[in-house]
Every structure is written in C-alpha cells, then in structure tokens.
Amino acid sequence: MVIEVQAILNFYPEEKTRKHINQGVWKRHALIETNCDTELYYAWFLEKRFNLKLNKTIRGTHISFIADRCESKNWEEVSKKYHGKSITFYHELEPRTQGEHWWLRVYSPHAEDIREELGLSRDPFHPLHLTLGYANIKNIEHSIYIMEICKRFDLVDLSPRKSLSEHEIIKFI
C-alpha cells in the first residue's frame, strides 16, 4: 500500500550545507518538496514506540530526486520547464533503515521521466526515498538494536521493492 502525495519541484534548492556548496560546482540537485510534516510524524512514532529520537532532516519533508553529476546540455531548459510545477509521488507506509538512517520508499514515475530527459538513469544510485531522520553518535547503537529487533520479530516488511503497479494506492482529497 502507498499514499499518493502532491508536491512541488524545486530545481534551485537553497545551499544549506558546506557539502552542498562544495559539490555545487559539479553536482546538480533537484527536490520534490512537500508542505507537510510526514518526516516529523513518522519520527514521532519511532520515538514513542521505540524510544528512538532521530535527528531531523535539514530540508523538511522532501525527496532528492536528482543529486548527480549531470553533464546534460539541456539542464537549464529542463530545470526552467519544471521548476515550481506540481508533481505526484507515492510513499510506502513502512519505515526502512540500515541502522543509521530511517526512510520511506518513494515512487514517482514523473520524476523518473525528468531524470531520463536529462540523460540520467531512471533509477538513481540511492533509490527514491523520503528521509525520516538519522541516528547520531549518541543513539546509533540503540537504532541498530531497534532495527535488529524489528527484523527478528517480523515487525517490519523486509520484502524487496515492488513496482508501483503492485501496490494499492490510497488517495487523500
């Protein structure tokens, strides 16, 4: 099951970190930005259920759908064409983790089309996801422990990523 969400494309995100500024000379960034607190909502549940306090994301609820070296000659044309436009994405309900970062799987055929238009792979190195937060040095061991307990007692769905067509889509109006 996935939830359908409407959001806005941002091809000119504010440079909020030194890493982003330093990589800005060779790396392109584009975001799907929401006007909701999905990451805070899920982080609250993780804290209440598992006493796991995650560090918040810098940019709020968003999906980085382009964070690549992009040598495309049509970057300016494509970015102007789509910047500020509405886009639909779908997110799964089950949080995922590798121990440090927590996220939701995301699907967005339109974002994949835009990546392809820029000469990028439809599937980025890190699949589309919505970051919920991350454990820091103070709670990383607890986060890993929670991940292991969830696996051991089947509290999380560990199935591989399905295609969007295999999901039931829930729309909120």
How far, in Å, CA of 70 to CA of 27, rounded?
Answer: 7
pLDDT in tens, the chain (173 residues): 999 999 999 999 887 777 766 666 667 889 999 989 999 999 999 999 999 999 999 889 999 999 888 877 889 999 999 999 999 999 999 999 999 999 999 999 999 999 999 999 999 988 999 999 999 999 999 999 999 999 999 888 878 899 999 999 999 76
For the chain, the 3-state helix, strand and coil shares in percent, each to the nearest 5, are 30, 30, 40
Domain assignments of the chain as residue spans, ordered by start: 2-171
List the structure tokens of 49: 């259920």
Of 100, 14, 97, give the one whose Cα is nearest residue 62. Answer: 14
How far, in Å, CA of 23 to CA of 35, rounded?
Answer: 26
Residues in Cβ contact with 16 at an 8 Å cutoff, skipping those fewer than 6 apart: 58, 59
